[in-house]
Amino acid sequence: MKLEDFGTFVIFAAIYAASTLGLPKLLFLAYHIEIGVIPTAFVAIFGLPAVFGLTLGQFIAGIGFQVTPIAMLSPAISFIGLVVVYYSRKFNTFAGCIVYIVITSLWLSYMLPIVSGTPPAVAAYSAFAGQSIAVIVGYIGYILVVRRISQRTTETAPKH
């Protein structure tokens, strides 16, 4: 990571940590929708500094809520999913987002019953729905930004 990437890293870490620790939880069944997951698709634009920033932000937020050894593995699982989104940007960011949802939902479906005693079926449904909502909202934002960037590029392109 280069020095100029540090700002992106810090911003993404702050977005995740601050939104998770500072904003009210949006509850959905047994799981809450994490606002910090929304920027997942933006990893395709901002690259590895965003991957590392979101991972650190999740670690910081995890310290604020659940200091159980199994819950502290969540940032590592999320990191794997974020790397998938990062590398999938070359062919299909949406596919990377879907893989992220699957990876993190499977992990949360396993972790929630252990940490909170949530019934496994409710944990699986809640985790999948919560992750899907957050990531898809972020993906819609990503699409809007990408369209705006491409619009600006065509507006400023030299006309022949």
Q: What is the pLDDT of residues 8-56, one digit of tens each?
A: 999 999 999 998 888 777 766 556 778 889 999 999 999 999 999 999 9
Q: What is the pLDDT of residues 69-115, one digit of tens each?
A: 887 889 999 999 999 999 999 999 999 999 999 999 999 999 888 88
The mean pLDDT value for 48-71 works out to 85
The domains located in the chain, with CATH, are: 3-156 (1.10.1760)
Number of helical (H) and strand (E) elements in the chain, helices listed first: 6, 2
CA dist., res. 149 & res. 94, Å (int)? 18
CA dist., res. 47 & res. 138, Å (int)? 15
